[in-house]
Amino acid sequence: MNDAVRIMRAMRASSSDPASLTSESVPVPDPGPGELLVEVGSTAITAGELSWPESWPAIPCHDMSGVVAAAGDGADGWRSGDEVYGLVGFDRPGAAAEYVTAPAADLAPKPASVDHLSAAAIPLGGLTAWQALHEHARLTAGQHVLVHGGAGGVGAYAVQLAALAGARVTATASARDLAFVAGLGARDVLDYSGRFEDHVRDVDVVIDPVGGTATSRSWPVMRSGGTLVAIAEEPDPGQGGRGDVRGVYFVVRPDGGQLRELAALVDKQQLRPTVSAVFELAALPEAFQAQRAPRLPGKVIIRVRHLGGGSDRGSRRSG
């Protein structure tokens, strides 16, 4: 990096109110040991994320797809121009900026078959679903999985990954999204406005990004020995009065190795990212409002910069 301070554009919030987001000029961060500086092509927003920061001002948005601009000491194997994607740790400034730094181990080569807009829709939801199913539920082929919010940012990946693992998938969704979720691989899709518990039984794994009554109503439909993986909030430690099932709560972590697995599935057309809407960086406040409103399934994406010769579809570089 040059000694002269380089300046970038970033959106920073001064409170949990999206209206507090303003475009500011801030220094481009320097990559530390083992870190990459990434020029951000696209990022994405997550419901409720403006309540996460412990100090203000804060740069939000933790999904990221872009190109390597520089590497810190020890960040071997990466070159400037390599296309990467990943989840920026929640303890770091986010990717609603022209540049962001992250540990190289947290990032992976961007899926070659999709553009930066679609790649930015993958990391948080895809990693959450992967870790829920494979680390916490220890899913095996033939098990019955119930996914709440099957059209949501986590649920859509959970449905696809569970089906790919050979599970029988039941999901809940809004009436408008039933066909969409069935197309992701769910055998049965139930309108969440009704009583799913009247139609589902013998569930081995519940993936619950919804919380509230969806959690409490899930315990009775589980098979003995089953696991409920809660993502929105910690589940009842009493497990609905059942001592023969397990409840787990976790927060997703960045993982470059798992991102490589997800990218391979995307490139084999076995995993489909979905983009709901695209906003420019300066329209981030409006994007948060759109995220809260009824909309098509998929992530709300923020286009930070056109990469790859002026289009969102970059060249197919490998890391």
Long-range contacts of 305-309 (CB under 8 A, 24+ apart): 305/39, 305/40, 305/41, 305/66, 305/98, 306/41, 307/39, 307/41, 307/66, 307/67, 307/116, 308/41, 308/115, 308/116
Q: Supply the pLDDT for residue 310.
A: 37
Q: In Å, what is the CA distance from 266 to each residue of 115, 118, 182, 242, 271?
A: 11, 10, 18, 38, 5
Q: Supply the pLDDT for residue 81.
A: 97
Show pLDDT as tens, one digit a residue, over the chain (319 residues): 445 789 999 999 999 999 999 999 999 999 999 999 999 999 999 989 999 999 999 999 999 999 999 999 999 999 999 999 999 999 999 999 999 999 999 999 999 999 999 999 999 999 999 999 999 999 999 999 999 999 999 999 999 999 999 999 999 999 999 999 999 999 999 999 999 999 999 999 999 999 999 999 999 999 999 999 999 999 988 988 999 999 999 999 999 999 999 999 999 999 999 999 999 999 999 999 887 777 789 999 999 998 864 344 433 222 2
* Cis amide prior to 109 (ω within 30 degrees): no
Burial 76-87 (b: 16+ CB within 10 A, else e): eebeeebbbbbb
* The model's pTM: 0.93
Return d(Cα 247, Cα 266) in angstroms, integer.
Answer: 30
Q: Supply the pLDDT for residue 3.
A: 57
Q: Supply the pLDDT for residue 318.
A: 25
Name the token pair of 258.
């798992």
Name the token pair of 101.
């730094």
Q: Supply the pLDDT for residue 313.
A: 40
Q: Supply the pLDDT for residue 308.
A: 60
Name the token pair of 85.
């994607």
Place of tokens 């981030």: 284
Q: Supply the pLDDT for residue 1.
A: 46
Strand pairing partners for 206? 146, 228
Name the token pair of 71.
């590497």
